Amino acid sequence: MLFYAELWSRTELSSLEHLDLQDCTSLETLSFLPTTLQKLWLNGCISLQTVNASLARLQEFAARECRNLRMLPTELGSCMRVLALKGCDGLSEWLATNQAALFGELSSLEYLDLQEWTSLETLSFLPTTLQKLWLSRCSSLQIVNASLPTLQILGAQECRSLRTLPAELGSCMRELLLKGCDGLSEWLATNQAALFGELSSLEILDLQECTSLETLSFLPTTLQQLWLNGCSRLQTVNASLPKLQKLGAQECRNLRTLPTELGSCMRELLLKGCDGLFEWLVTNQAALFGDLSSLEHLDLQNCTSLETLSFLPTTLQKLWLHGCNSLQTVNASLPKLQDFRAHECRNLRTPATELGSCMRELWLTGCDGLSEWLPLLAEFSSLEFLFLHECTSLETLSCLPTTLQRLWLIGCNSLQTVNASLPKLQELAALECPNLRTLPTELGSFMRVLALIGCDGLSEWLATNPPTLSGEHSSLEFLNLQECRSLETLSCLPTTLQRLRLRGCNRLQTVNASLPKLQELAALECRNLRTLPTELGSFMRVLVLNGCDGLSEWLATNQAALFGELSSLEILDLQECTSLETLSFLPTTLQQLWLNGCSRLQTVNASLPKLQKLEAQGCRNLRTLPTGELSSLEILDLQECTSLETLSFLPTTLQSLWLSRCSSLQIVNASLPKLQKLAAQECRNLRTLPTELGSCMRVLALKGCDGFFESLVTNQAALFGELSSLEHLDLQDCTSLETLSFLPTTLQKLWLDGCISLQTVNASLPRLQEFAARECRNLRMLPTELGSCMRVLALKGCDGLSEWLATNQAALFGELSSLEILDLQECTSLETLSFLPTTLQQLWLNGCSRLQTVNASLPKLQKLEAQGCRNLRTLPTGDLYSLQKLDLSFCMSLKTLSFLPTSLEELILIGCIELEVLDLGSGNLTNLKRLDIRLCPGLRSLPQELETLPALSIDRDETLPPLRMDRRRGLRSRIKSWVRRKMLALGRF
């Protein structure tokens, strides 16, 4: 801190106004800042915890991604205009108790960015001067309780828990961005008129992925952009939008009508996957498109029921019809069309008329019906890009426009000849065209990219035309011959080549060419390759020889010569070179070195001062690593290096260290203050961890490290006290661990599966999102302060918790207001479940043999599994609106099943021997695809409604009497016969 004080005074910075310290990743504390500062930018200072300074004149404070920051500068006041704190989740606790004091002082604040504050639940006391408020991905945020009359932009994308919007949003609002805010659907349903009535100047409204939204009305007539992609339940947009320019409603499969008064302002209409609209569209094309006199982009992809398109605006520049597999005719004049895409339109016979000089891009996938139309391509006098994918009946291509710059021919497996002069072609890609025998003529100096992946039929042509290849393609930069399996020799390549890819050329032995400008050579799985091209030099950046075992002998005697020339090499991949034993003379410029699977490699002896990443997984004989000059190393992966016993001399720059299954490793003797991830699963002999692990640590994975846990018992406070930012702790299968305490409050994931001796987790974990303690049969209580951050709670086999759960369900589940997955399998003492969170999406109860009742409202539940719950008699009877899979196999006490939701897709009732009644009530299982009623001898009849489900598959026992069903309308369900010759003994369940 004295350094900063001296800096500001000695360098006479007493009038400093703007200080930019962005990406100073080692900076932990800032103090003694000049009081004159107006702008302070600290984005990316990931270690910064404290800014201890009085900055009364500050106007802009930007500290994005400062995840360890715990408090803001003092005396921020009326000068502040911009406060940008994206990703500063560490401030959430401070802000919860200081909102009124902080925002009360910021009386002129205009811009507030709190994106990715995942722990923030409530916002209030915001300044009324705010113009822009960014809250994207604040996943726990429920309430913004503030009056914001001057707000212009509100961005709250992915705030899935948000229930209400700020009050007094009004005529200043221009952009309202609520993508993924499904929690607002109920509020919107009753407040649309009041909300949108006030937003009289709104121009952009984004409600994408609001999956519960069914109706939109009362929208402002000022809207210019409306985004509704993924609103899967939306049926009606009942509003007049005369100024709308862009409407995106992709994947709104239930949408039946479009807004009214769409007119001359419209530029983009994106209706991909809106199959529900097309009955309406069939009868309204003329009226709709007649009004859209300025439309430029129309997207009707995956509109599978559309057969004919006509009355399209002549102004169209882009028309996208991918997946319109019923479409036969586009009957319209489109003289200005530039981009036409029709993937998988296999029935299309007639494209638009008057396509001409404006056309630049033509995409046709699987459009075999257009083969006779293709000769007309020569009329497209300005066509630059032609993409033909899976046109399987196409044998010859000719009469192509000479203007073509890019030609892609993918999966045209009958194509033999491309007979055309293409002097301006820059890219030719012919992937998986195995019968192609020749390339187009007059390819010349414009050519930059030639990709012939899997074009084995060209091997003979390539062997006999190398002078042509090198002469005509004098400017070729990228040559891709992957999977040309018949190719044995390559020579006379253009000296201009910068990238050469030969992956899977498994017969290739020789590349006999001088390539002085080559930057990238990839020869993966070229197992017969014996030598590399000559004159590889200072341009080389990437050399990939994965699986080139045939080069091992050559490498053994040529390492010094080869790597001495590659003075700029940055990436070297020698994976699966199983004969390689020693590596030395490596270029000092290397940044990434990949050695995974070099099973005989024993020594890597080289100075690599710029190396950032070293991967050596499965190098089972590796004993020696470079001992010095690894001053830039950030990622070291030594998983399954089973001969390694000691690791030392590791650089302090390391951020990720992967040591899983290093079964001989005992000691990691290194100081690693910047380490963020340490994974040492199954290192059963490991006795100590690296020293100086600290506030940078995010992930610590020690599954099965039983040798370490003797020291953990006595050092928990010292270890976890230093890990003040730890987010993920994995101690699975630590069988000797009995007590856990002193855990960091920052933990988001805690995995303890298989800790069979564990009895107590004595820690406050308010930010925990996942707690997994499967098979912890001695566990007696859960951590305290589990709350709204929790998403996953997995307690399979934790029978010791049953007594605690019996008396604490209401208190526990009342706090877990965002829980999505609950696993209580094999909790054999559990008898009743109630007070479950309404947010649950998956509930696992298999093997809860004493469970009798599940009594809770679960409107978001998608999957309920309760196999082998022998005593289960009562299930939730209502509010299962989202349930898709219900498995009650071997619930032997269940007699009646009713109130099943229409959302149900799978119903599995194997072995429900007491079941007599399957009652749909007033519902209709229109989505049911699978019904399994094997070993249900008491079930004698099925509801008639099942007869109308053509997609339903019913699994039953053929050996039992047939089920009664009204067959007057004909049974369209498919009955699968299952003959069970060896019946399972029901007692085992």
Helices (H) and strands (E) in the chain — how many of each? 9, 65
Q: Which two tokens stand for residue 363?
A: 């995409």
pLDDT of residue 12: 60
pLDDT tens, 214-250? 889 889 999 999 999 999 889 999 889 999 999 999 9
Q: Out of 46-60, 386-400, 752-766, 789-803, pick the least confident.
A: 386-400
- Residue partners of 584: CB distance under 8 A and separation at least 6: 559, 560, 603, 604, 605, 606
The conformation of residue 376, written as its DSSP 8-state character, comes to G
pLDDT of residue 986: 32
Average pLDDT, rounded, for the chain: 87
Q: Which two tokens stand for residue 524?
A: 């993966």
The whole model's pTM is what? 0.74
Residue ranges in 523-670 assigned as alpha helix (H):
552-565
Q: Which two tokens stand for residue 35?
A: 């009081």
Residue with tokens 């097309």: 278
Q: Reduce the DSSP state of residue 582 to 3 states and report it.
A: strand
pLDDT of residue 311: 84
pLDDT tens, 84-113? 999 998 888 788 788 888 888 899 999 999
Tell me the C-alpha distance between 341 and 934, whole Å.
Answer: 49
pLDDT tens, 522-551? 999 999 998 888 888 889 999 999 999 888
Is the distance from CB of 470 to CB of 449 less than 8 angstroms? no
Q: Which two tokens stand for residue 353?
A: 């008329």
- From residue 306, how far is each of 244, 254, 330, 342 by CA, in Å? 25, 15, 11, 13
Tell me the C-alpha distance between 540 and 520, whole Å.
Answer: 6
**Following DSSP, what letter does each residue of 643-692 receive, concatenated?**
T--EEE---TT--EEE-TT-TT--EEE-B-TT--EEE-TT-TT---PPB-
- Residue partners of 338: CB distance under 8 A and separation at least 6: 317, 318, 358, 359, 360, 361
pLDDT tens, 878-920? 678 889 999 999 999 999 888 788 889 999 999 999 999 887 6
Neighbouring C-beta atoms of residue 247, cutoff 10 Å:
21
pLDDT(468) > 60: no
- Residue partners of 236: CB distance under 8 A and separation at least 6: 214, 215, 216, 217, 255, 256, 257
- Residue partners of 654: CB distance under 8 A and separation at least 6: 633, 634, 635, 636, 670, 672, 674, 675
Is the distance from CB of 277 to CB of 256 less than 8 angstroms? yes
Q: Out of 608-612, 627-631, 653-657, pick the least confident.
A: 627-631
pLDDT tens, 474-527? 799 999 999 988 888 898 899 999 999 999 998 999 998 899 999 999 999 999
Q: Which two tokens stand for residue 881?
A: 């609106």
pLDDT tens, 400-438? 899 999 999 999 988 998 988 899 999 999 999 999 988
Is the distance from CB of 493 to CB of 500 less than 8 angstroms? yes
pLDDT tens, 163-185? 889 888 989 999 999 999 988 87
Q: Which two tokens stand for residue 473?
A: 């393609």
